[in-house]
Every structure is written in structure tokens, then in C-alpha cells.
Amino acid sequence: MPIDPKFIDVDFTQEPQYVRGDLGISFTAMQRFAAFEEFASVIPESKWRDEVAAMDAAGGGADQLVTRIYNQKSEGSCVANACSQSHEILQALQFGKDNVTPLSAISLYKRIGRSPGSGAMVSDGLDEMNERGVLPLDTPENRAKFSSAVMPSTGWSTPYPSGWEATAKRFRVTEWHVVKSVDGIITALLNQFPVVVGRSGHSICYVRPMYKDGKLVVKYANSWGDWGDQGYGYDSMNLIRSSANWAFVPRSVTVQ
């Protein structure tokens, strides 16, 4: 499917009608966690085109595992949305798309942000998902499974339900790594691992490498509802390099 050029290399700062909320680089996290490149066989650029073709022939990247596009509305919860999106993608990868439990981004954001519009750091979001998890989204199906231990997508003032910790702990990120190179980002995506990045004061979830006019771009799931290409945008190499300064790869999750 053709890519509309207006959705390539979008400068989020020039989209004033949408709310961002990424606070910048956490150098502590970059130093504290082992790099993805230490755990994976990194695929060099010389092999990307063949690997992308093979991935496409096999059915596509992590974008094929996305079950919904998030919408942070008027809150600066992009980090929580991108992190929760990555969890849902890994649920689909590990357990199948039909078994994905949609998650409540606000149940995470209330623990990593200071106010509705304060924003947060990706490393804090993944740390919190590792330690205490995230609650299921308030849907009829989730209410039937988890009783009242659910929360909506947005709503900073929404209180946590009684005993929420036990349910949230069922939905954790159990392994995640810092990515320190463009090769690492592309390698993760070629293995259908989502990559959560921050740039231009906003956090997004990379889902697929692809080629347009002979040049590599990376498709990402945004959290602005039907913005862009049905909720997606695309970064070219310049912005991928920029995002490589602060990128994280969740590799496994729990759903208990």
C-alpha cells in the first residue's frame, strides 16, 4: 500500500492540536540496563532489504499484531500509551491476536506522571510495568474476567479500584532492554518486537521497517486516535537515528 508523504518524518511540535508528553532521556536507565545488542544477533544494514522482503513474505511485522490504536486525548500520557501498546503487541506475538487483553494506559500513567499533562519517561513506564504491571481496560469482556479491577483509557482523576495491585501484576513486562543503535532497532523490528521511542517531546511505538522509493522507513503506531495513516506514521533514517538515542525493546510479557 502506498505511503502518503505527509505522514513521513512528522514533526510532532508542529501538531499543536495534539498533546504530547515525553520528558526526555533517562541517562540513568540507559546505564542501568543491558543493551539489546548484547542479547541479539544484530542484523547489519547490508542485509536489511532481504530481511524486510522475507518478513513481508511471512506476513509482515509487528504492525500485523496491533489490535487497536490508542487515543490519549487531552492528557500527556503518550509514554503510557506507547508502553501499553507494546505490551499488547507482545501478547499477540506470544499468545495470538485473539487472546490479547486490551490495557488501560491511564492505570500506568497515574504512577509515572505528576499531573494530567506532565508527561513521563519511557524508562519509568517500562520499570513500572515490570514491577507492578498495568490494569486491563474497562470493557464488558474485561469486567466479566476481572470484575471491577479495570480502568478506562484516559481520565487522570479516575481512582484505582480496590485491590488493583493483584490484577495489574498479572500484566507485566518481564524483559526489556535499551537499544543503542539503528541496527538494533531494525533487528528488533525484524523479529516483530515493538520498539518504544521518544522524540520531539512525544513517545511512539515502532512496529515495522519497510521501503519507500528505495529508502528505509519505519512505521509506528501513534496514540492520537485516527491521526495520520489510520493511526500510523513513518520515520525515515534521520529520525530513526535520532530515536536510537533513546529507544527501548520490550521482549516478553506476562498474562496470567
CA gap 36, 25 in Å, rounded: 17
Closest by Cα among 110, 158, 148, 108 to 131: 108
In a domain, 228, yes or no: yes
User: 125-170: per-residue pLDDT in tens?
Assistant: 999 999 999 999 999 999 999 999 999 999 999 999 999 999 999 9
Position 198: which residue type? Answer: G
Locate 243 and state its grid cell: 530515536
Helix (H) or strand (E) holding 202: strand 202-212
CA gap 115, 141 in Å, rounded: 30
In a domain, 219, yes or no: yes
**pLDDT tens series, the chain, 256 aa:** 689 899 999 999 999 999 999 987 666 666 677 789 998 899 999 999 999 999 999 999 999 999 999 999 999 999 999 999 999 999 999 999 999 999 999 999 999 999 999 999 999 999 999 999 999 999 999 999 999 999 999 999 999 999 999 999 999 999 999 998 999 999 999 999 999 999 999 999 999 999 999 999 999 999 999 999 999 999 999 999 988 878 999 999 999 8
**Radius of gyration of the chain measured on its C-alpha atoms:** 17
In a domain, 35, yes or no: yes
Residue 59 is part of a domain; what is its CATH number? 3.90.70.10
In a domain, 143, yes or no: yes
In a domain, 256, yes or no: no
In terms of phi and psi (left: phi > 0; alpha: psi -120 to 50; beta: otherwise), the region of 255 is beta
Compute the Cα dihedral for 203, 209, 210, 214 and give only its sign: positive
In a domain, 195, yes or no: yes
Number of Cβ within a 10 Å radius of residue 50: 10
CB contact set of 109 (below 8 Å; sequence gap of 6+): 75, 77, 79, 80, 81, 120, 156
Q: Is 26 helix (H, G, I), strand (E, B) or coil?
A: coil
Domain that holds residue 161: 5-251
In a domain, 135, yes or no: yes
CA gap 180, 14 in Å, rounded: 27
CA gap 120, 250 in Å, rounded: 17
**82-91: burial string, b at 16+ Cβ within 10 Å, e else:** bbbbbbbbbb
Q: How far is CA 225 from CA 73, 196, 221, in A?
A: 8, 17, 10
User: 106-120: per-residue pLDDT in tens?
Assistant: 999 999 999 999 999
Q: How many domains does the chain have?
A: 1
Place of cell 522507513: 217
In a domain, 71, yes or no: yes
